[in-house]
Structure 1
Amino acid sequence: MEVILTIIFFTIFWAAVAKYGPILLTKEPHDDLVRCIFLLTAVVCWLFWLCCYLAQLNPLLGPKLNGNTIRIIASSWGNPIKEG
């Protein structure tokens, strides 16, 4: 449940940046360009945040190695494992 609330919160935050960001600036001769920049910034930042956040929910795990394979890798890298 908190995952959905977090996604909704940040979606609303970046939507507010896209919608109300240009209003905070004074009237400029290039209003359309400023609106486009705020919109693109908000979309790209939200998408980057979403990808990073979702990637942390299901991290990729490395392969599960047995002890013999670990010893072979360690000795080939110059770090022999001492059993004892």
Structure 2
Amino acid sequence: MSEEVEAGFNTSLYVAVPLVTGFWLIVAAVGLILPFFLKNNKNRGVIGVSIVLTAICCYTFWLLAFLTQLNPLMGPNVETNVAAHIRRAWGGLGDEDNSEYPCFPNW
């Protein structure tokens, strides 16, 4: 990848949301169209409503689960010595100012 990705730019948001939305719209459309092909069935309205309601509920659940992952309420709980080891292992022992990270004191 020669392009630099802008900080905070989430490409999965622009791919996953339209893809899943399109899928559940197709399922809902099937639920709306299917009853017209079931002319002799007395439960055709119930079948159509069940399919459309299933599509709405599944899409709503997926959308809420997806959106909550974009801005998590809490992060991992890492002890100070573990965080320091991770910092050393990943080569983060520069002279940068770490005043905003209390678990990473300036060495």
Bigger helix share: 1
Where do residues 3-22 of structure 1 align in structure 2 (5 Å cutoff)? 3-21=13-31
1:45 aligns with 2:58: yes
Q: CA RMSD in A?
A: 2.6
| Gaps in structure 1 of 5+ consecutive residues | 68-84
Structure 2 stretches lacking a partner, 5+ long: 1-10, 81-107
TM normalised by structure 2 equals 0.51
Residue correspondence of structure 1 range 1-84 to structure 2 within 5 A: 1-21=11-31, 23=34, 27=38, 28-61=41-74
Runs of 4+ with >2 A deviation: none
Highest RCO, 1 vs 2 (Cα 8 Å, sep ≥ 6): 1
User: What percentage of aligned pairs have identical amino acids?
Assistant: 32
Shift of 1:5: 2.0
Task: Find the aligned partners of 2:12 and 2:71 in 1 and give their Cα distance.
Answer: 15
Structure-1-length-normalised TM-score: 0.63
Give, in whole Å, the separation in 2 of the partners of 1:18 and 1:50.
Answer: 16
